[in-house]
Structure 1
Amino acid sequence: MDNELGRKIRILRHKRDLTQQEIAYRTGISTPHISSIERGHRQPSLEYAIRIAEALGVPIGFFCEGTEVTSLPDDTSYGGPSDLPGYLQSFVMRESAQPYLAMALRVSRLEETDYDVLCALIDIMMQRKKLRNLSNETF
Protein backbone atom coordinates (compact mmCIF):
# COMPACT_ATOMS: atom_id res chain seq x y z
CA MET A 1 0.00 0.00 0.00
CA ASP A 2 1.23 3.54 -0.78
CA ASN A 3 2.75 5.08 2.33
CA GLU A 4 3.19 8.67 1.03
CA LEU A 5 0.28 10.03 3.05
CA GLY A 6 1.39 8.25 6.23
CA ARG A 7 4.95 9.51 5.71
CA LYS A 8 3.73 13.10 5.42
CA ILE A 9 1.59 12.77 8.53
CA ARG A 10 4.53 11.34 10.50
CA ILE A 11 6.89 14.11 9.29
CA LEU A 12 4.38 16.83 10.19
CA ARG A 13 3.70 15.24 13.57
CA HIS A 14 7.41 15.09 14.36
CA LYS A 15 7.93 18.69 13.19
CA ARG A 16 5.14 19.69 15.58
CA ASP A 17 6.77 17.61 18.33
CA LEU A 18 3.53 15.70 18.89
CA THR A 19 2.96 12.08 19.86
CA GLN A 20 0.47 9.78 18.20
CA GLN A 21 -1.57 9.97 21.41
CA GLU A 22 -1.74 13.76 21.15
CA ILE A 23 -2.94 13.50 17.55
CA ALA A 24 -5.49 10.93 18.68
CA TYR A 25 -6.67 13.33 21.40
CA ARG A 26 -6.96 16.23 18.98
CA THR A 27 -8.79 14.22 16.32
CA GLY A 28 -10.87 11.70 18.22
CA ILE A 29 -9.21 8.94 16.17
CA SER A 30 -7.71 6.04 18.13
CA THR A 31 -3.95 5.88 18.60
CA PRO A 32 -3.67 2.46 16.90
CA HIS A 33 -5.56 3.84 13.90
CA ILE A 34 -3.18 6.83 13.68
CA SER A 35 -0.24 4.40 13.85
CA SER A 36 -1.72 2.24 11.07
CA ILE A 37 -2.19 5.31 8.86
CA GLU A 38 1.40 6.48 9.44
CA ARG A 39 2.77 3.02 8.59
CA GLY A 40 0.69 2.88 5.42
CA HIS A 41 -1.40 -0.07 6.56
CA ARG A 42 -4.61 1.97 6.39
CA GLN A 43 -5.79 4.96 4.41
CA PRO A 44 -7.85 7.52 6.30
CA SER A 45 -11.32 8.51 5.20
CA LEU A 46 -11.70 12.09 3.99
CA GLU A 47 -13.19 13.03 7.38
CA TYR A 48 -10.19 11.54 9.22
CA ALA A 49 -7.73 13.21 6.84
CA ILE A 50 -9.39 16.57 7.50
CA ARG A 51 -9.27 16.01 11.26
CA ILE A 52 -5.59 15.05 11.09
CA ALA A 53 -4.75 18.09 8.96
CA GLU A 54 -6.55 20.35 11.45
CA ALA A 55 -4.74 18.71 14.38
CA LEU A 56 -1.41 19.33 12.65
CA GLY A 57 -2.35 22.91 11.77
CA VAL A 58 -2.03 22.50 8.02
CA PRO A 59 -4.48 22.69 5.12
CA ILE A 60 -5.71 19.38 3.74
CA GLY A 61 -3.72 20.17 0.58
CA PHE A 62 -0.52 19.18 2.39
CA PHE A 63 -1.59 15.58 1.90
CA CYS A 64 -2.12 15.87 -1.86
CA GLU A 65 0.22 14.11 -4.24
CA GLY A 66 3.14 16.17 -5.44
CA THR A 67 3.26 18.49 -2.43
CA GLU A 68 6.29 18.39 -0.20
CA VAL A 69 6.45 19.23 3.47
CA THR A 70 8.57 22.38 3.59
CA SER A 71 7.67 25.36 5.75
CA LEU A 72 4.85 25.06 8.24
CA PRO A 73 2.68 27.74 9.80
CA ASP A 74 3.26 28.36 13.51
CA ASP A 75 1.07 26.32 15.82
CA THR A 76 1.72 27.44 19.37
CA SER A 77 -1.87 27.73 20.53
CA TYR A 78 -1.96 24.32 22.19
CA GLY A 79 0.95 22.27 23.48
CA GLY A 80 -0.91 19.01 23.97
CA PRO A 81 -2.17 17.07 26.96
CA SER A 82 0.77 18.24 29.10
CA ASP A 83 -0.93 21.67 29.19
CA LEU A 84 -3.92 20.13 30.99
CA PRO A 85 -4.33 19.52 34.74
CA GLY A 86 -3.11 16.09 35.89
CA TYR A 87 -6.56 14.56 36.36
CA LEU A 88 -7.48 15.47 32.77
CA GLN A 89 -4.15 14.25 31.38
CA SER A 90 -4.78 10.75 32.69
CA PHE A 91 -8.32 10.79 31.27
CA VAL A 92 -7.47 11.97 27.75
CA MET A 93 -4.63 9.50 27.36
CA ARG A 94 -6.95 6.51 27.90
CA GLU A 95 -8.24 4.76 24.81
CA SER A 96 -11.72 4.61 26.39
CA ALA A 97 -11.85 8.43 26.39
CA GLN A 98 -11.70 8.66 22.59
CA PRO A 99 -15.48 8.66 21.92
CA TYR A 100 -16.00 11.42 24.50
CA LEU A 101 -13.16 13.49 23.08
CA ALA A 102 -14.47 13.05 19.56
CA MET A 103 -17.89 14.29 20.66
CA ALA A 104 -16.32 17.25 22.48
CA LEU A 105 -14.47 18.13 19.28
CA ARG A 106 -17.70 18.05 17.29
CA VAL A 107 -19.48 20.21 19.86
CA SER A 108 -16.62 22.72 19.85
CA ARG A 109 -17.12 23.23 16.11
CA LEU A 110 -20.82 24.11 16.38
CA GLU A 111 -22.02 27.57 15.47
CA GLU A 112 -22.79 29.70 18.52
CA THR A 113 -26.58 29.48 18.17
CA ASP A 114 -26.45 25.68 17.74
CA TYR A 115 -24.16 25.46 20.75
CA ASP A 116 -26.58 27.55 22.84
CA VAL A 117 -29.52 25.33 21.82
CA LEU A 118 -27.55 22.20 22.70
CA CYS A 119 -26.65 23.64 26.14
CA ALA A 120 -30.31 24.54 26.77
CA LEU A 121 -31.37 20.99 25.85
CA ILE A 122 -28.79 19.52 28.21
CA ASP A 123 -30.04 21.80 31.02
CA ILE A 124 -33.62 20.69 30.42
CA MET A 125 -32.60 17.03 30.44
CA MET A 126 -30.68 17.49 33.69
CA GLN A 127 -33.68 19.21 35.31
CA ARG A 128 -35.97 16.38 34.21
CA LYS A 129 -33.56 13.80 35.62
CA LYS A 130 -33.44 15.64 38.97
CA LEU A 131 -37.24 15.78 39.10
CA ARG A 132 -37.48 12.09 38.27
CA ASN A 133 -34.99 11.23 41.01
CA LEU A 134 -36.92 13.36 43.51
CA SER A 135 -40.22 11.71 42.61
CA ASN A 136 -38.66 8.24 42.99
CA GLU A 137 -37.34 9.14 46.46
CA THR A 138 -40.74 10.24 47.75
CA PHE A 139 -42.39 6.85 47.20
Structure 2
Amino acid sequence: MNLEKYPLTDEEINIWNNFLNRNKIYPIELLVNKNNKNFINLQKIFKTLKLDRVKPIVFIESYINAKTKNDINYFVKIMTNLFMSHKVNKSLSEGQSIKSARTQTVARILCLSFNDPNKTEEENFKDMKKIVRACTKDIRV
Protein backbone atom coordinates (compact mmCIF):
# COMPACT_ATOMS: atom_id res chain seq x y z
CA MET A 1 0.00 0.00 0.00
CA ASN A 2 1.37 3.38 -0.97
CA LEU A 3 0.62 6.46 1.09
CA GLU A 4 0.81 9.36 -1.33
CA LYS A 5 -1.03 12.04 0.60
CA TYR A 6 -2.65 12.95 3.87
CA PRO A 7 -6.27 11.82 4.23
CA LEU A 8 -9.18 14.11 3.49
CA THR A 9 -11.72 12.10 1.50
CA ASP A 10 -13.36 8.89 2.73
CA GLU A 11 -11.22 6.82 0.37
CA GLU A 12 -8.02 8.50 1.55
CA ILE A 13 -9.07 8.00 5.17
CA ASN A 14 -9.59 4.29 4.46
CA ILE A 15 -6.14 3.97 2.89
CA TRP A 16 -4.55 5.86 5.80
CA ASN A 17 -6.27 3.77 8.50
CA ASN A 18 -5.53 0.49 6.71
CA PHE A 19 -1.87 1.45 6.47
CA LEU A 20 -1.71 2.23 10.20
CA ASN A 21 -3.47 -1.03 11.09
CA ARG A 22 -0.83 -3.03 9.21
CA ASN A 23 1.89 -2.08 11.69
CA LYS A 24 2.49 -4.17 14.81
CA ILE A 25 2.68 -1.00 16.85
CA TYR A 26 0.53 1.80 15.61
CA PRO A 27 -0.66 5.01 17.16
CA ILE A 28 -4.42 4.74 17.59
CA GLU A 29 -4.64 8.53 17.90
CA LEU A 30 -3.56 8.87 14.25
CA LEU A 31 -6.51 6.82 13.02
CA VAL A 32 -8.75 9.24 11.16
CA ASN A 33 -12.45 9.35 11.94
CA LYS A 34 -14.56 12.31 10.84
CA ASN A 35 -16.66 11.95 14.01
CA ASN A 36 -13.66 11.97 16.35
CA LYS A 37 -12.82 15.17 18.25
CA ASN A 38 -9.21 14.90 16.98
CA PHE A 39 -10.31 15.13 13.35
CA ILE A 40 -9.95 18.92 13.08
CA ASN A 41 -6.56 18.91 14.81
CA LEU A 42 -5.33 16.09 12.59
CA GLN A 43 -6.41 18.05 9.51
CA LYS A 44 -4.48 21.12 10.75
CA ILE A 45 -1.41 18.95 11.37
CA PHE A 46 -1.74 17.34 7.93
CA LYS A 47 -2.04 20.75 6.28
CA THR A 48 1.24 21.88 7.83
CA LEU A 49 2.94 18.60 6.93
CA LYS A 50 1.79 19.00 3.31
CA LEU A 51 3.02 22.60 3.15
CA ASP A 52 6.41 21.50 4.47
CA ARG A 53 6.45 18.58 2.02
CA VAL A 54 6.79 15.98 4.76
CA LYS A 55 5.68 12.69 3.24
CA PRO A 56 3.01 10.76 5.17
CA ILE A 57 5.23 7.71 5.60
CA VAL A 58 8.03 9.88 7.05
CA PHE A 59 5.59 11.47 9.49
CA ILE A 60 4.15 8.11 10.60
CA GLU A 61 7.58 6.51 11.06
CA SER A 62 8.90 9.54 12.95
CA TYR A 63 5.80 9.63 15.14
CA ILE A 64 6.03 5.91 16.01
CA ASN A 65 9.77 6.21 16.68
CA ALA A 66 9.25 9.24 18.93
CA LYS A 67 6.32 7.73 20.79
CA THR A 68 7.92 4.34 21.54
CA LYS A 69 10.54 6.02 23.74
CA ASN A 70 7.74 7.36 26.00
CA ASP A 71 9.85 10.47 26.68
CA ILE A 72 8.12 13.79 26.05
CA ASN A 73 11.41 15.69 25.42
CA TYR A 74 12.55 13.14 22.86
CA PHE A 75 9.12 13.23 21.25
CA VAL A 76 9.18 17.04 20.93
CA LYS A 77 12.67 17.05 19.42
CA ILE A 78 11.83 14.38 16.83
CA MET A 79 8.61 16.15 15.82
CA THR A 80 10.34 19.55 15.72
CA ASN A 81 13.00 18.15 13.39
CA LEU A 82 10.25 17.39 10.87
CA PHE A 83 9.50 21.12 10.68
CA MET A 84 13.02 22.56 10.70
CA SER A 85 12.60 23.59 7.08
CA HIS A 86 9.27 25.31 7.80
CA LYS A 87 8.83 27.73 4.90
CA VAL A 88 7.26 31.14 4.97
CA ASN A 89 4.03 30.80 3.05
CA LYS A 90 0.53 32.16 2.72
CA SER A 91 -0.76 29.90 5.49
CA LEU A 92 1.03 31.84 8.22
CA SER A 93 -1.10 34.50 9.82
CA GLU A 94 0.17 38.02 9.42
CA GLY A 95 2.91 38.58 11.97
CA GLN A 96 3.14 34.91 12.93
CA SER A 97 6.73 33.73 13.05
CA ILE A 98 7.92 30.46 11.59
CA LYS A 99 8.99 29.34 15.07
CA SER A 100 5.51 30.10 16.41
CA ALA A 101 3.85 28.12 13.61
CA ARG A 102 6.19 25.18 14.21
CA THR A 103 5.55 25.34 17.97
CA GLN A 104 1.79 25.27 17.42
CA THR A 105 1.98 22.29 15.08
CA VAL A 106 4.25 20.28 17.38
CA ALA A 107 1.98 21.19 20.33
CA ARG A 108 -1.03 19.86 18.39
CA ILE A 109 0.85 16.62 17.70
CA LEU A 110 1.84 16.44 21.37
CA CYS A 111 -1.80 16.84 22.43
CA LEU A 112 -2.64 13.64 20.56
CA SER A 113 -0.45 11.56 22.89
CA PHE A 114 0.26 13.44 26.07
CA ASN A 115 -2.83 15.46 26.93
CA ASP A 116 -4.38 15.52 30.38
CA PRO A 117 -7.98 14.21 30.25
CA ASN A 118 -8.87 16.40 33.25
CA LYS A 119 -8.11 19.58 31.31
CA THR A 120 -9.94 21.25 28.44
CA GLU A 121 -8.62 21.06 24.90
CA GLU A 122 -7.51 24.70 25.13
CA GLU A 123 -5.71 24.18 28.47
CA ASN A 124 -3.90 21.13 27.10
CA PHE A 125 -2.87 23.03 23.98
CA LYS A 126 -1.47 25.94 26.04
CA ASP A 127 0.42 23.52 28.30
CA MET A 128 1.85 21.66 25.31
CA LYS A 129 3.02 24.91 23.69
CA LYS A 130 4.92 25.72 26.90
CA ILE A 131 6.53 22.28 26.87
CA VAL A 132 7.51 22.62 23.20
CA ARG A 133 9.04 26.07 23.79
CA ALA A 134 11.01 24.78 26.78
CA CYS A 135 12.30 21.73 24.88
CA THR A 136 13.23 23.66 21.73
CA LYS A 137 14.55 26.96 23.08
CA ASP A 138 18.14 26.04 22.16
CA ILE A 139 17.36 24.65 18.70
CA ARG A 140 18.42 26.88 15.81
CA VAL A 141 17.77 26.41 12.11
TM-score normalised to structure 2 length: 0.32
Q: TM-score, normalised by structure 1?
A: 0.32
Which structure ranks higher in relative contact order (CA pairs < 8 Å, sequence separation ≥ 6)?
1
Return the structure number with greater helix share.
1
